[in-house]
Amino acid sequence: MHIIPVLDLQGGVVVRARMGQRDQYRPIDTPLAPTSAPLDVARGLLSIHPFTTLYVADLDAITGRGNNDAALARLRAAFPQVTLWVDTGIADVDRAVGWLATGLGHLVIGSETQADATLLRRLAVDARVALSLDFRGEAFQGPAALLDPACWPQRVIAMTLARVGSGAGPDLDRLADVRRLAGGRAIYAAGGVRDAQDLALLKRHGIAGALVATSLHDGRLTTASIAAL
């Protein structure tokens, strides 16, 4: 089970995400870090376990209100041993290729910011690319063409926005649907993971990994419970 802590960046700091309601996100207050600065929060997360990957969502870039490029560069420099999976809302082929060339990390292509499947069809074979299938309630966020697994890369995230930070548990039905279509691709769960029991359950269901945040900050997913997995 590939456990990937999440950093949601907005206004240069890490914010506490909850149920996809971005207008209500506030700087995170966590026992893992003295401030909400990305480096502090990342250090706190890595103090729990030597995670090999961090997922970073640049919410300002995704919503077209600026970017957190400087924070990303600092994270990359401070933690060279960690691979960053980054969603910056990129939907253009040239921008995606240019971003990958910077070496900051792997590119997550979020369905909610795509107009069509052009970018996925061009980059699906690149091992540094992952697709996030974003769902808000029962509604898929993005063009229907992205639900065709023919354009999927080898890593696919099933993102249930209403469960992010909710403590509701992972969306097993949706994950099962995505996995049936995936044809052997690695599927990652995002939203609702509460503890190590949820992670063990996902593993039994054939899920390759999970994006987690609240369960780490709230102390329900601990060094010992991760080690036990």
Report the candidate in 228, 176, 165 with the shortest Cα–Cα distance to residue 204: 176
132 beta partners: 110, 157
pLDDT of 19 over the 60 cut: no
pLDDT surpassing 70 at residue 35: yes
pLDDT at 55 over 70: yes
What's the rounded Cα separation, in Å, for the pair 141 and 129?
A: 19
**HEC readout, the chain:** CEEEEEEEEECCEEEECCCCCHHHCEECCCCCCCCCCHHHHHHHHHHHCCCCEEEEEEHHHHCCCCCCHHHHHHHHHHCCCCEEEEECCCCCHHHHHHHHHCCCCEEEEEHHHCCCCHHHHHHCCCCCEEEEEEEECCEEECCHHHHCHHHCCCEEEEEEHHHCCCCCCCCHHHHHHHHHHHCCCEEEEECCCCCHHHHHHHHHCCCCEEEECHHHHCCCCCHHHHHHC
Percent of the residues in the chain that have a pLDDT greater than 90, as a whole number: 83
Pairing label, strands 186-190, 139-141? unpaired
Confidence of residue 139 (pLDDT cuts 50, 70, 90): confident
Tens-place pLDDT, residues 79-121: 999 999 999 999 999 999 999 999 999 999 999 999 999 999 9
pLDDT above 70 as % of the chain: 94
CA-wise closest residue to 86 among 122, 50, 110 = 110
Q: Which structure tokens are listed for 183? A: 């044809």
Domains of the chain: 2-228 (3.20.20.70)
**C-beta of residue 195 within 8 angstroms of C-beta of residue 221:** yes
pLDDT of residue 167: 67
Does pLDDT of 199 surpass 80? yes
